[in-house]
Every structure is written in C-alpha cells, then in structure tokens.
C-alpha cells in the first residue's frame, strides 16, 4: 500500500530548540506539502515543493524552513521553536497532474513547552 | 481569491439519519473536487473525488457527492449515518493557478447521536 510516513506521531520540544519533522513518501510523487492544523483554523499551508531542491512558501512560512534533497523526503524545520508553534503538522504528497488529490501522512502532534 | 466554503462547522445527526455536508467553491476553470475525512489524531483520508465525467461520484463508506456546476457546489451525502462516521470532513478544490495545489475548506465536524 502506498504511504506517506511522518517520523513521529507525538513530539514534545522546549522553546528555542531546533526541531526537524520528517516526511517520506514511497509513491514517486513530484509534489510534497507541509500543513499545520489548529482548531477553528482548518489546514494552513506552510511550504510546498514541486521538485527536488525546489520549494515555495505557502500561507504561513514565518518561523519555518524546509529541505528536499531527495524526491521521497521533505523535511520541515522549526529554526527556534516557540509555544505558538504547538500544533498538528500534516505532510502530504501528490502527482503533478493533480487529479488524484493528496495522500496525507498520519500527522505529528508537536507540543512546545 | 479562490475559496471553499463549508457551511456549518458542526453538524449533528441521529444514527440512521441522512448526512448532508455542504461545500461551495469558487473557481474560474473546471475544477477538481475532493472530500477528505479525518478521524481523531489521524491524517486526512480521501473519501471521493470529481475530476471529469459523471457528476455524481461515489466514495468509500457509502458516501457520495454531486458536482453541480451551476450552483458551484459539491455537497457530501450519506443516506444513513453510522456511529463510525463521526469525524471531521474537509472539502477541497484544485487551485486555478496550478491543478496540483488544493484549496481546503475549514472543515465540518460530524457528530452522530445514538
């Protein structure tokens, strides 16, 4: 079965730490996405990548960066974690054609204390 | 700006009753349309999609949706709710500027009463 795998389901980090969230897909998808999900705010796009080493800012990129060195892996980096980055983080991937939609990972619930 | 509107952040139905979750979208080109379901502490799972062809599409778990171009709607229905349907549901439309990007609605939480 095809999958998007997020390395951690739950993470607790301290304020100021550098945090890495990892996402791996085994479907040879060109596009990968990072969202955060907060109650009442729905899904908000942080960054996406349409090819290796290519990235574009989404709606809320401040405080985040990303890395895509290999097609199957897309990392989200919190340079200096803050309490307002406590959230559910969702990774997704898709084909370039778009008509198959996204495949999502199970999510990482990050708590910054 | 392109948008997806889901009417009602919470919908409550009795077990066995009809489920109707509403979705309206804006798009200047023929869109791809999707419904996703999210169970607690999980990622989103594709329920069904409309790309081309038949406007009534069937998905998993007995759900279906109808694309109505004139009404710019893609409402999700299920004839008889089950307790296991309790979840959050998201409608999404492909972006005008790049079809592989999706614009998501804010979600509707479905509550099913025994």
Q: Which residue of B has its CA nearest to A109?
A: B41
Cα torsion at B23, A56, A96, A9 (round to 10°)? -70
pLDDT band at B95 (very low <50, low <70, confident <90, very high): confident
* pLDDT score at B94: 87
Of B27-36, B42-51, B78-87, the range with the highest mean pLDDT is B78-87
CA–CA distance, B59 with A82 (Å, rounded to integer):
40
Mean pLDDT across the stretch A50-75?
94
- Which residues on chain B are in Cβ contact (under 8 Å) with A106? 42-43
Query: pLDDT tens digits for A76-110?
Result: 999 999 999 999 999 999 987 777 889 999 999 99
Cα A87 from Cα A110, distance rounded (Å): 6
Asked if A43 and B104 come within 8 Å (Cβ–Cβ), the reply is yes
Q: Mind spelling out the 3-state secondary structure of B3-38? A: CEEEECCEEEEECCCCEEEEEEECCCCCCCEEEEEE
Of A57-66, B40-49, B99-108, give the lowest mean pLDDT range.
B99-108
Share of chain B above pLDDT 70, in %: 99
Which residues of chain A have a CB within 8 Å of the CB of B45?
Answer: 104
- Between A14 and A53, the more confident residue is A14
Q: What is the pLDDT of residue A97?
A: 75
Interface of chain A toward chain B, CB-CB under 8 angstroms: 4, 6, 9, 30-31, 40-43, 48, 50, 90, 92, 94-107, 109
| pLDDT at B4 (0 to 100) | 93
What integer is the mean pLDDT of B17-39? 92
For the cut 90, the answer to whether the pLDDT of residue A26 exceeds it is yes
* Residue of B43, B49, B94, B102 to mutate for A, most A C-beta atoms under 10 A: B43
Q: Is residue B98 pLDDT above 80, yes or no?
A: no
CB contact under 8 A, A109 and B106: no
Interchain contact B12–A (C-beta under 8 A): no
* Strand duo B73-78 + B64-68: pairing: antiparallel
Confidence band, pLDDT 50/70/90 cuts, at residue B99: low
Residue of B nearest to A36 (CA): B43
């Amino acid at each position: 079965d095809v999958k998007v795998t997020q390395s951690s389901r739950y993470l607790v980090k301290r304020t100021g730490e550098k945090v890495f969230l990892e996402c791996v897909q085994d479907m040879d998808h060109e596009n990968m996405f990072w969202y955060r999900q907060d109650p009442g705010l729905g899904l908000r796009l942080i960054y996406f990548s349409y090819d290796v080493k290519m990235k574009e800012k989404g709606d809320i990129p401040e405080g985040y960066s990303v890395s895509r060195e290999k097609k199957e892996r897309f990392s989200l980096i919190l340079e200096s974690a803050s309490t307002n980055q406590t959230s559910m983080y969702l990774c997704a991937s898709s084909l370039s054609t778009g008509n198959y939609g996204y495949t999502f990972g199970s999510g990482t619930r990050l708590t910054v204390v | 700006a392109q948008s997806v509107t889901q009417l009602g952040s919470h919908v409550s139905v009795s077990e066995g009753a009809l489920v109707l979750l509403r979705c309206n979208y804006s798009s200047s080109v023929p869109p791809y349309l999707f419904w996703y379901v999210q169970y607690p502490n999980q990622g989103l799972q594709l329920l069904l999609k409309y790309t081309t062809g038949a406007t009534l599409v069937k998905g998993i778990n007995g759900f279906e949706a109808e694309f109505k171009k004139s009404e710019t709607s893609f409402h999700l229905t299920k004839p008889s709710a089950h307790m296991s349907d309790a979840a959050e549901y998201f409608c999404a439309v492909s972006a005008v500027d790049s079809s592989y990007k999706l614009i998501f609605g804010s979600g509707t939480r479905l509550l099913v009463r025994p």
